[in-house]
Amino acid sequence: MSTFTPFQSIAATRRLLRSKELSPIELIEGLEARIASVDPAIGAYIERNLETAKKEAAHADLSKPLGGIPIGIKDAISVKGQPCQSASRILDGYTAPYDATAVARLRASGAIPFGRMNMDEFAMGSSTENSAFHPTHNPWDLNRIPGGSSGGSAAAVAAGTALATLGSDTGGSIRQPAALCGCVGLKPTYGRVSRYGLVAFASSLDQIGPLTSTVEDSGIILNAMAGKDPHDSTSLELPDEDFTAEIGRDLKGLRIGVPKEYFVDGMEPGVRSSVDAAIKQLVSLGAEPVEISLPHTEYAVAVYYIIATAEASANLARFDGVRYGRRSPEAKDLLSLYEKTRAEGFGREVKRRIILGTYVLSSGYYDAYYLRAQKVRTLIRRDFDQAFTKVDAIVSPTSPETAFRLGEKTDDPLKMYLADIFTIATNLAGICGLSLPCGFSNRDGVDLPVGLQLLGRPFGESRLLRIGHAYEQSTEWHKRRPGQPGL
Ligand code: GLN
């Protein structure tokens, strides 16, 4: 008899596997059945490919930290021998020739990478509606978006169709969908996890990180993935660390910064009240609140949309119909090959970003936009450096609102860009950030999850997870499950 039940944490599943109450194959079969019954309504997966996973499960090494644990992988992260398309038509027909380092390390820890989680094309978006495949639906209300760009990764964890998944975060793409779907998302410090094998969006901002149902699980996955990689010169050589080591310690003596720029008018009232209550809860656990200021916050979105698009325009130049994926059958010569392949292969938002990025890098505009944005980026980073001389962590909402309706913002890119107003500065500064459930907001009669964001100093993930875990375990939010029919 299989004891598979959806929504079990990695930590709990690991115990069941080791005590032989559950076999790795039963686990995958349980997931397979759950996906078959629930995912048609959600659309978190582009592909499931559980057959390979079953074969790997047959010889899982349960003595390893992630032995036999299946982990869903965002479609932007390479898994050897599997299609990897970043949810774009331009990568039709492309198969990854190698494992991303993050995936290879998960395997070395015994995990079984599987599936291709849906996302916004090239991770550009906040709703997963920019996927070239299909939109993903929020498990808490199927008429709503799951957030993005790692919307499939978040929706699967929230719907109990994956124990854990990998996402990537360039301006909020792990934390914002985690918040909107009511799960935990960790963006590691820039340089903590190798980007080798991640389809690049904006290379100075991108990081791979986990989406999980508990804070402890995100530490367990980070333990497996972190570390220097010779294939990524921006990954850093640091002493080995157990990111779960501080978990279980109390919060006495820790100072938590409350930045006034992150508590602005216009926020959804249910988000505001949930986050205010969460801060009180942290205080009741022994943390000391400190009012702080991050004065350059208001420039973060503008700076991000210059730097991220500039880097994207360079990174996406490689998709030209010659080396990877799609090649237009209509092309007559080299120039028309480029033009037609790119015209047919890229979606609207991706084209918009390439045009914006090319513009801000072009001669005459470079100094006015790109160079100036880099200078303001430095000011934003200094705000955080300053703040972290006074506090151990910073607390804020992850997103100013809960999940919006499918189609609500698709005609207004600026509104969509503002969905990341609280997450973007983290990537510009390169620091680490965690989102975890902190309550519900009633929107049009439906209770929707609210995310609490905790930000930590560079390479301060262990401290961040300690604070997140203490909060999580003192509340019941992470135990609530979506009650949509069929889930
Ligand atoms: N939503 C932001 C964007 O569209 C961030 C995306 C991300 O983090 N990949 O660029």
What are the DSSP E strand ranges found in 261-381? 288-292
Please state, in angstroms and rounded to a whole number, the distance separating the CA atoms of residues 49 and 162: 13
As a whole number of angstroms, the distance between CA 139 and CA 25 comes to 26
Nearest of 28, 36, 472 to residue 214 by alpha carbon: 472
Mean predicted lDDT score pLDDT of the chain:
96
Out of 3-7, 235-239, 368-372, 452-456, pick the least confident. Answer: 3-7
Q: What pLDDT shows up at residue 365?
A: 93
Of residues 453, 473, 484, 459, the one with CA closest to residue 177: 453
Is pLDDT above 80 for 477?
yes
Please report, rounded to a whole number, the percentage of residues in the chain having pLDDT higher than 70. 99
Q: Catalytic residue among 23, 78, 131, 149, which?
A: 149
Note the pLDDT tens digit of each residue in 230-281.
Answer: 999 999 999 999 999 999 999 999 999 999 999 988 899 999 999 999 999 9
Cβ contact 167:209 at 8 Å: yes
74 noted as active-site residue: yes
Tokens for 217?
């699980």
Residue 414 alpha carbon to ligand 1 centre in Å? 12
Q: Given a cut of 60, is residue 176 above it in pLDDT?
A: yes
The pLDDT confidence band at residue 486, using thresholds 50, 70 and 90, is confident
Average pLDDT of span 371-375: 97
pLDDT computed for residue 337 by the predictor? 96
Q: Which ligand 1 atom sits nearest the alpha carbon of residue 424?
A: 5
403, 141 Cβ separation under 8 angstroms: yes
Q: Does residue 169's CB lie within 6 angstroms of at least one atom of ligand 1?
A: yes
d(CA 480, CA 470): 18
pLDDT exceeds cutoff 90 at 75: yes
70-74 and 288-292 beta bridge pairing: unpaired
Question: What was the pLDDT predicted at 1?
Answer: 52
Residues forming a β-bridge with 404: none
Ligand 1 site, residue 315, Cβ cutoff 6 A: no
d(CA 52, CA 113): 10
Of residues 487 and 116, the one with the higher pLDDT is 116
Return the pLDDT at 464. Answer: 98
Q: Is 149 a residue of the active site?
A: yes
Helices in 151-261 by DSSP H: which ranges?
151-159, 175-181, 215-225
Ligand 1 neighbour 173 (Cβ under 6 A): yes
Predicted pLDDT at 5: 92
- Asked if the model's pLDDT at residue 108 lies above 60, the reply is yes
pLDDT (0 to 100) of residue 49: 87
- What is the rounded distance in angstroms from the CA atom of residue 181 to the CA atom of residue 448? 8
Q: Please tell me if the CB atom of residue 207 comes closer than 6 angstroms to any atom of ligand 1.
A: no
Strand pairing of 393-397 and 207-212? unpaired
For 200-235, the pLDDT digits (tens) are 999 999 999 999 999 999 999 999 999 999 999 999
Angstrom distance (rounded) from CA 40 to CA 29: 17
Reported as a pLDDT band with limits 50, 70 and 90, residue 2 is low
Query: Beta strands 70-74 and 112-117: pairing type?
Result: parallel
As to burial, measured by CB atoms within 10 angstroms (0-12 exposed, 13-18 middle, 19+ buried), residue 285 is middle
C-alpha pair distances (Å), 257 with each of 191, 291, 376: 24, 6, 22
CA distance 64 to 85: 30
pLDDT of residue 484: 74
| 329-350 tens-digit pLDDT | 999 999 999 999 999 999 999 9
List, in order of start, the domains of the chain with CATH numbers.
10-261+272-293+382-479 (3.90.1300.10)
Query: One-letter amino acid identity for 324?
Result: Y
Task: List the beta strands (DSSP E) in 170-296.
Answer: 184-187, 207-212, 255-259, 288-292
Q: How far apart are CA 103 and CA 224, in angstroms?
A: 9
Q: Among 398, 420, 423, 453, which is best to mutate for testing ligand 1, by the most ligand atoms less than 8 A from CB?
A: 420
3-class secondary structure per residue, 70-128 = EEEEECCECCCCCECCCCCHHHCCCECCCCCHHHHHHHHCCCEEEEEECCCHHHCCCCC
Let me know: does 101 contact 108? Beta carbons within 8 Å: no
* pLDDT-derived band at 4, boundaries 50, 70, 90: confident
Question: Which of 170, 175, 195 is the pocket-test mutation for ligand 1 (most atoms within 8 Å of CB)?
Answer: 170
What integer is the mean pLDDT of 429-458? 97
Ligand 1: which atom is nearest the Cα of residue 172?
8
Instruction: Give the whole-angstrom CA distance, residue 392 versus residue 30.
Output: 41
Note the pTM of the prediction, 2 decimals: 0.97
